[in-house]
């Protein structure tokens, strides 16, 4: 026997590791609408398998807890059982020796708090309150686009039909092909095999190859009129579907061009005008009237619109900036992200040549202005964030892209004040931070026991969120929650009959696909409000799922133009898939609209 040995991983252990990897992919692809109590029971068994068996609470407690939960699922027990489950879990959480035990118990406690109704329903009615959703991507897409259908159509080269399928639920296929945050991919069942299908990339491939696909015919004119305030994604989506339903729509836009944040918030290198205009052209082809440069509350009031139209939709977005509220913020050289990107949308392109630029913020907008600053010729670009890089809400690929282009991300720095000289920015003084304990699911930073640092710079861009200019609407009677319009889930604005609202001005700054969802929901409910029930439907025959051998196969990611080249211009950064890449990617789709519970619960919604 040697005194010490170099560890080598045994085959069984290696296989176990692979199983864990596979399991974690599987968990990440968990179907939507599973029974949460069943899931708790399963997690408990997994936790028990991880237990070493030394300590009582973990070894015995988790097993008994699991039996109690299982019994409850089988209709055994009473309200008392719920108390026993809860007190047992608390005791395990309190007294386990290591994290394997106490984290397992915490899972049960958190679950009981979150799905208590479901526990009670199982207990008293023998029923689960959850509703197993059939097609994960379609369910996760806020607009519920029929994704398996358009992937199948794209795979057959029927690109125009693919676009028609998308437009049934989302009139911005070109925009979303480039900038959608693709929540559809989060629970893609393909992840249980290897990794999610590149859904957004395929949408772009279809758009790039479809040519101009005209809008469908509008329903006969109803004689009803709707005013849409704000020509962003929510407003234009509502306008598109309302026009298809036969209503006469007028869009009021305070700026000089339509598009809202798509035009004034997303940089051109991510969303060139021709893509945005392609979608807007089709939307406007339905005969929607547009009034540019009209601001509600200044040029015309909400009350006047309510008088002149049968219904009004408020979708003004979130276009005001948020301040850091630190000394020196009013100095020359401090600008907001909204101001910079909005100006570029109107083709007022500043020159940052030779300037040192500092950005404050950690979201996608912060990355947009960081990378825009580089393209404006800045000598140096530094993005400061008060948490760690992994805590940034920006997409990882945006952060990596910025770094590749030569931008610097400096984490764990909180702005203290702006150093000003002759009224101009000289630098940003920051306090170093230490990442600390969790609050509401995120670790909170606190001031480090280190001196402040000055980051020299000429320009500071504040990208810490946007505010909503909702004052006029509040004065007209719209209820607010903070600065957001407090509309119901149907989009109706309580107290203002016939007025609906949605998008960023209701939800706070969010994604384009959430705004599209809001517009779609509003269109349906405005149509009902006007006394109609005109359905949006589609007659595209979707290729039937045929049996195909689908072994594990790597996901094709869209590549980007080389950093050195792209950082100098505003041309589209992302490269399309090649035909062979797109066809392979299409073939990776597992057709959850046919396989699994879709055949039972309906894999396709042809109308809404």
Partner 1 sequence: MVKLIIDGISVEAAEGTTILNAARSVGINIPTLCYFDKINDIGACRVCVCEIKGSDKLAAACNTVVSEGIEVYTNSPRVRAARKINVELILSTHNCDCVACVRSGNCALQTIANDLNIRTVHYENKPARNDWDETLPLQRDASKCISCMRCVNVCDRLQGLSVWEVNGSGSRAKVTVRDGLGISEAGCAFCGQCITHCPTGALTARDDTDIVFDAIEDADTVTIMQIAPAVRSAWADSLGIDAAIATEKRMVAAAKALGVDYVFDTDFAADLTIMEEASELIERLTKGSGAMPMFTSCCPGWVRFMRYNYPELAENLSSAKSPQQMFGAIAKTYFAEKMGIDPARICCISVMPCSSKKYECDVPEINATAKDVDVVITTRELARMLKANHVNVATLEETEFDSPLGTGSGAGVIFGATGGVMEAALRTAYNMLTGTNPDADAFKVVRGKSGIREAEVSVNGTTLRAAVVSGLANARELLDSIKSGKASYDFVEVMACPGGCAGGGGQPITDGVELASERSKKLYVLDSKSTLRFSHENPEIKALYESYLEKPLSHKAHELLHTDHKNWTL
Q: Are 538 and 606 in contact (CB under 8 A)?
A: yes
> Closest CB to partner 1 among 97 and 124?
124
Which residue, 73 or 383, has its beta carbon nearer to partner 1? Answer: 73
Which two structure tokens, joined as six digits, stand for 175?
Answer: 């925009």
Nearest to 520 by CA among 502, 533, 539: 502
Q: Which of 388, 390, 338 is nearest to 368 (CA)?
A: 338
For partner 1, give the closer residue by CB, 450 or 601: 601
Minimum CB separation of residue 544 from partner 1 in Å reads 5
Q: Which stretch binds partner 1 (CB under 8 A): 67-75, 146-154, 373-381, 559-567?
A: 67-75
Q: Which of 29, 35, 324, 366 binds partner 1 (CB under 8 A)?
A: 35
Binding partner 1 (rule: CB under 8 A), the pick from 92, 104, 128, 496 is: 128
The Cα–Cα gap between 162 and 148 comes to 10
CB atoms within 10 A of CB 578: 12
Identity of the residue, 74 or 303, whose beta carbon is nearer to partner 1 in the bound complex: 74
Query: Between residue 535 and residue 594, which ones bind partner 1 under the rule CB under 8 A?
Result: 544, 546-547, 549-551, 594
CB of residue 374 vs partner 1: minimum separation in angstroms? 47
User: Which is closer to partner 1, CB of 33 or CB of 272?
Assistant: 33
Strand partners, 447: 433
Distance set, CA 114 to CA 13, 33, 147 (Å): 36, 14, 30
248-287 residues in contact with partner 1 (CB under 8 A) are none
CA distances for 64 relative to 70, 94, 98, 107, 387, angstroms: 10, 16, 18, 15, 40
415 Cα distance to chain centroid: 27
90-95, long-range: CB < 8 A, 24+ apart: 91/57, 91/61, 92/57, 92/58, 92/61, 92/62, 92/65, 95/57
Segment near partner 1 (CB under 8 A); pick from 128-136, 258-266, 275-283, 439-447: 128-136
Minimum CB distance to partner 1 smaller for 130 or for 563: 130
Residue number with CB closer to partner 1 (117 or 569): 117
Pair 140, 134: CB distance under 8 Å: no
Q: Report residue 306 CA to chain centroid gap.
A: 32
CB of 598 to partner 1, least distance (A): 9
Cα–Cα distance measured from residue 413 to residue 435, given in angstroms and rounded to the nearest whole number: 10
**422 binds partner 1, rule: CB under 8 A:** no
Least distance CB 117 / partner 1 (angstroms): 13
- What is the smallest separation between the CB atom of 310 and partner 1, expressed in angstroms? 22
Find residue 481's DSSP bridge partners: 484
Stretch that binds partner 1, among 197-205, 346-354, 516-524, 599-607 (CB under 8 A): 599-607
CB of 296 to partner 1, least distance (A): 37
125 binds partner 1, rule: CB under 8 A? yes
Q: How far is the CB of 74 from partner 1 (least distance, A)?
A: 8
Asked if 599 interacts with partner 1 (CB under 8 A), we say yes
Segment lying near partner 1 (by CB under 8 A), choices 82-90, 335-343, 374-382, 597-605: 597-605
At residue 30's C-alpha, the angle toward residues 24 and 34, to 5°, is 140
Options 29, 68, 72, 73; binder of partner 1; rule CB under 8 A:
73
SS (H, E, C) 109-131: HHHHHHCHHHHHHHHHHCCCCCC
- Whether 373 and 381 have beta carbons less than 8 Å apart is answered as yes
Query: Which DSSP string do the residues of 552-573 spell out, in sequence order?
Result: --PPPPPPB--HHHHTT--S--
Using an 8 Å Cβ cutoff, are 607 and 144 in contact? Answer: no
Please give the radius of gyration of the chain, using alpha carbons only, rounded to the nearest integer.
27
For partner 1, the binding residue among 28, 34, 209, 393 (CB under 8 A) is 34
Q: Which of 25, 27, 28, 38 binds partner 1 (CB under 8 A)?
A: 38
**Between 95 and 121, CB nearer to partner 1:** 121
| Helix/strand/coil for 3 | coil
Report in angstroms how near the CB of residue 72 gets to partner 1 at its nearest.
11
Shortest Å distance, C-beta 37 to partner 1: 9
In the bound state with partner 1, the residue whose beta carbon lies nearer, of 73 and 268, is 73
432 vs 543, beta carbon nearer partner 1: 543
Nearer to partner 1, 285 or 599 (CB): 599
Q: Which of 50, 55, 91, 132 binds partner 1 (CB under 8 A)?
A: 132
Nearest distance, CB of residue 135 and partner 1, angstroms: 15
Size of interface with partner 1, in residues (CB under 8 A): 23
508-541 burial code (b ≥16 CB/10 A, e <16): ebbbbbbbbbbbbbbbbbbbebbeeebebebebe
- For residue 127, state whether it binds partner 1 (rule: CB under 8 A): yes
Among 75, 354, 396, 495, interactor with partner 1 by CB under 8 A: 75
CA distance 480 to 164: 37
Closest separation in Å from C-beta 217 to partner 1: 19
Among 120-128, 216-224, 337-345, 486-494, the segment contacting partner 1 (CB under 8 A): 120-128
> Contact residues for partner 1 (CB under 8 A)?
33-35, 38, 73-75, 121, 125, 127-128, 130, 132, 544, 546-547, 549-551, 594, 599-601
């Amino acid at each position: 026997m040697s005194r010490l040995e170099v560890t080598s991983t045994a085959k069984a252990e290696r296989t176990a590791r692979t199983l864990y990897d596979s399991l974690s992919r599987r968990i990440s692809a968990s179907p939507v609408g599973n029974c949460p109590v069943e899931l708790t029971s399963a997690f408990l068994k997994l936790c028990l398998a991880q237990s070493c068996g030394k300590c009582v609470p973990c070894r015995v407690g988790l097993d008994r807890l699991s039996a109690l939960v299982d019994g409850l699922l089988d209709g055994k027990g009473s309200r008392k059982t719920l108390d026993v489950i809860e007190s047992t879990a608390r005791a395990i959480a309190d007294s386990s020796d290591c994290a394997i035990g106490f984290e397992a118990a915490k899972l049960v406690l958190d679950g009981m708090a979150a799905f208590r109704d479901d526990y009670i329903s199982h207990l008293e009615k023998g029923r689960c309150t959850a509703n197993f959703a059939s097609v994960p991507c379609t369910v996760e897409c806020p607009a519920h686009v029929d994704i398996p259908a358009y992937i199948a159509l794209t795979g057959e080269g029927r690109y125009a039909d693919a676009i028609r399928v998308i437009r049934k639920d989302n009139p911005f296929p070109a925009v979303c092909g480039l900038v959608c945050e693709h929540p559809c991919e989060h629970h893609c069942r393909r992840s249980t095999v290897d990794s999610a299908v590149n859904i957004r990339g395929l949408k772009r491939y279809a758009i790039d190859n479809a040519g101009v696909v005209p809008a469908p015919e509008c329903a006969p004119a109803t004689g009803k009129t709707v005013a849409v305030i704000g020509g962003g994604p929510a407003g234009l989506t509502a306008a598109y579907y309302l026009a298809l339903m036969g209503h006469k729509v007028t869009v009021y836009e305070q700026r000089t061009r339509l598009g809202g944040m798509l035009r004034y918030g997303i940089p051109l290198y991510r969303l060139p005008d021709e893509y945005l205009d392609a979608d807007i052209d089709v939307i406007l082809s339905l005969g929607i009237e547009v009034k540019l440069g009209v601001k509600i509350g200044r040029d015309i009031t909400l009350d006047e619109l309510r008088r002149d139209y049968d219904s009004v939709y408020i979708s003004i977005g979130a276009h005001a900036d948020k301040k850091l509220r630190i000394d020196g913020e009013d100095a020359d050289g401090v600008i907001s992200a909204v101001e910079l990107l909005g100006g570029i949308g109107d083709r007022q392109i500043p020159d940052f040549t030779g300037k040192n630029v500092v950005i404050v913020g950690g979201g996608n907008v912060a990355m947009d202005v960081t990378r825009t600053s580089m393209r404006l010729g800045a000598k140096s670009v530094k993005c400061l964030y008060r948490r760690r890089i992994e805590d940034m809400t920006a997409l990882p690929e945006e952060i990596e892209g910025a770094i590749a282009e030569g931008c610097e991300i400096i984490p764990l720095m909180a702005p203290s004040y702006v150093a000003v000289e002759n009224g101009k920015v000289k630098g940003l003084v920051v306090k170093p931070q230490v990442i600390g304990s969790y609050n509401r699911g995120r670790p909170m930073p606190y001031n480090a026991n280190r001196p402040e640092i000055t980051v020299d710079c000429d320009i500071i861009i504040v990208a810490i969120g946007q505010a909503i200019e909702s004052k006029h609407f509040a004065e007209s009677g719209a209820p607010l929650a903070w600065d957001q319009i407090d509309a119901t889930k149907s989009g109706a604005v309580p107290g203002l009959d016939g007025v609906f609202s949605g998008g960023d001005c209701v939800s706070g700054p969010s994604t384009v696909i959430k705004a599209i969802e809001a517009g779609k929901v509003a269109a349906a409910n405005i149509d009902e409000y006007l006394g109609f029930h005109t359905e949006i439907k589609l007659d595209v025959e979707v290729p039937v799922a045929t049996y195909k051998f689908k072994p594990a196969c790597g996901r094709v990611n869209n590549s980007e133009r080389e950093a050195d080249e792209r950082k100098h211009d505003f041309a589209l950064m992302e490269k399309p898939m090649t035909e062979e890449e797109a066809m392979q990617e299409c073939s990776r789709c597992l057709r959850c609209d046919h396989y699994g519970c879709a055949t039972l619960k309906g894999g396709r919604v042809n109308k809404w």
